[in-house]
Amino acid sequence: MTDFPTAIISGVTRQLVSAVTSQQSPFTLSSQVQDWGGEVWKISLDVVIKSGAAARSFEAFANSTLNKRRLFVLRDALICNSARTETIAVSGAAQSGNRLVTDGWGTSGMSAGDFFSIGSGSDARLYQVTEDCIPVSGMNTLTFVPRLRSSPADGAAVEIAYPIASMMATDDVPSSIQVGVMRFTVNCMEAL
């Protein structure tokens, strides 16, 4: 599986899409909300490269990998926290939902809005912390979105420094060629 070249990302639009519907009763005007449980990350990446060999190389990458052909690994540089060096792991099997008990923490926890990932390659899943969490005696319970896709194994690695996600392009990637630069917009979604 190919890694997306993160050094060339100039902008990111990230959206968690949820399968939730809401309808208003025509009689009482009250709202009824149905949560179908589906959640997926949709991301749009803006890439601007000076014209030349690097731009042509990315264009070839886009045409061979991104145009809905293959999965790729996205490591969004805007959510990386290279200062984090702890080795965090899942603590306990059969966990599900939006909470995860972990261990291996130092004194620093995570703040609402921080990201982490579980898995690697095509199984890499991205999560966003929704509540500040502070470790106690090396243990920390993370509250996050989206829900766990599957129950991670006891001891599975939790990546907090360089979170990744397995992604697939949802559209063809056009090349906008201007004097001196090439621009690309990569629309993708989490590969489930």
Q: Is the pTM here over 0.85, yes or no?
A: yes
- Output Rg (C-alpha) for the chain, integer angstroms: 19
Counting beta carbons within 10 angstroms of the beta carbon of residue 88, is it exposed (0 to 12), middle (13 to 18) or buried (19 or more)? buried
pLDDT of amino acid 57: 86
174: left (phi over 0), alpha (psi -120 to 50) or beta: beta
Tokens linked to 16: 């968690």
* CB contact at 8 A, 43 and 12: yes
Specify the fold of 76-163.
Answer: Elongation Factor Tu (Ef-tu); domain 3 (2.40.30)
In angstroms, the first-to-last Cα distance of the chain is 15
**Could you tell me where the DSSP H helices lie in the chain?**
53-61
pLDDT, tens digit, 9 for 90 and up, residues 27-81: 888 888 888 888 999 999 999 888 888 888 888 888 888 777 789 999 887 888 8
* CB contact at 8 A, 142 and 129: yes
Cα separations in angstroms, 55 against 44, 48, 118, 142: 18, 8, 32, 40
Cα separations in angstroms, 166 against 54, 101, 123: 24, 23, 7
Q: What amino acid occupies position 101?
A: V
Q: Is the pLDDT of residue 180 over 90?
A: no
Domain residue ranges in the chain: 1-74+167-192, 76-163
* CB contact at 8 A, 23 and 29: no
How far apart are the C-alpha atoms of 30 and 12, rounded to whole Å?
A: 37
Beta strands in 51-103 (DSSP E): 72-74, 88-90, 99-103
* CB contact at 8 A, 147 and 131: no
3-state helix, strand, coil in the chain (%, to 5): 10, 45, 45
pLDDT of amino acid 131: 96
pLDDT, tens digit, 9 for 90 and up, residues 147-173: 998 999 999 999 999 999 999 999 888
